[in-house]
Chains A and B, each alone.
Chain A
């Protein structure tokens, strides 16, 4: 695992340079430069309000939906500038999927939650749809649990099941990247464990960026860790590197007290 080879990473998929995001006049994070290696799991950690969610939302340009929100600096995905106004946002978001903190299945049936986005992306063939539904539910370990009630409302599932359904919904679109914003924090410990194992099982097949408040979880699942901190009224990246390096030998004093549980 890369934690044993701190300097040897995969090629960078995302490259942020001097990235800043403001809501109106207030910066959420400022001057962030970070590379996110392809095929690995990168954890974003840091205290509440340090801009982790905002950073995640800049990676798929979901920040465009927030009124008065502006992103400046440079952000590349596989070498392509994704902050440019010419970027095809639909294609970008298909390539970069996202899961939110609270499970947010649509108020449709379980099946339609999966087929609706696929149909919107041009998959019309019924057999193809059925195959993709099954494959993505198997991917998240939900198939055996719910294969007999695919037409039940998605909102009747438990929180953990809904979160896995949301993951399946994103996976069905075959993204390259998955952005996970505290995907376990709204779940009970048991479901949380299931979702965490699931994320680990996706390692290598997707580039994963996961925000988590749970340092133990970051340590268990991540290859790379980026630590955000509020300094001078805006979130900043204070340290990044492999899990081994950040947890065992942090360079920054704040990181040291944070990972040892003295702050944050």
Chain B
């Protein structure tokens, strides 16, 4: 029986890829462990290894084919001791990708809703389409060019080009003095970064993910956040702690936590959690220039998404200002980070049902832009908070408290929160899906506050 070789999934988030190169041809004998093809994912070129022994009977997808869906049969192999099957129909030319492969991937597709333009950006500015990953990298590169006190340190940031490729190319441009690979010692290097900031440098400390910053949280809170206050304003600590935060894809309970509420509860810290490329770049640049310690929370699932980015020489955005992503009059959805995409998707669905929702991206979690939230509440009188994170003691809880304390007279319905389920994140695909917030849940909550 012929063995089908299928387009492999080579990362937790991969849904399709480019078949970059075949390293075997029809009729070649392969044994387990041989590299038979190179496949490009959004992050890297990966080698595809044979698992079985046998002869390559036919190659069904030509090299150079883009957008090959995971699971597509790309070649067949005759097993050990079998005759190679007669050559199958010729592989389609690289350009005519299999029909199935052309379908857009749902996870990568940004919501259809065209976000409202940011008033901070001058009207008429040229826009480029850039991924969040590139926007973050460019922010660091620009700040490093501008200020030689700025350097980056963390695990795999230099030679490996970043575990999630956010620091790609920085080592080449700035060299090993300013792009420093550390051992796996979060507590130690977070302390070194904090101390370097106390001593006058401007470190950007990357955590491979914020889950591992729990090893280092003592320095973030006890050393970085409190120094300025304890020293009566003498000793500053302009350090940026950044990296991916919150759930990725199927990585289980220890690798899937949103630390937004944790850090946002600490006086002395600035906490930023951008959603799109413009905010990622503009706010990371602001964070690096900031005199205070900043926790900058990114999201792995958003790294590969493309958004418009203003082509400005120096795109710096103000810290502490929320952004209205979509104007609406019937209800307000407040969110941040990956939740913003879901809120915009929910707003689209609600529009089809005649509910005009306003979507606010908090962007900065501390200090929180109460004014923008309360102003929107005064307009719509109904509010829902959408947060990819646990519900208890969350940013959502905080927004609800603010609405109670300062917006009570404007409320026509109780403020509701739509968060993840109150459980550690499970690995099983069905349970994970149930545990995480989605657009439909936001839609139901908005309808509820609209009594519809």
Indicate whether A and B interact.
no
B residues with CB within 8 A of A = none
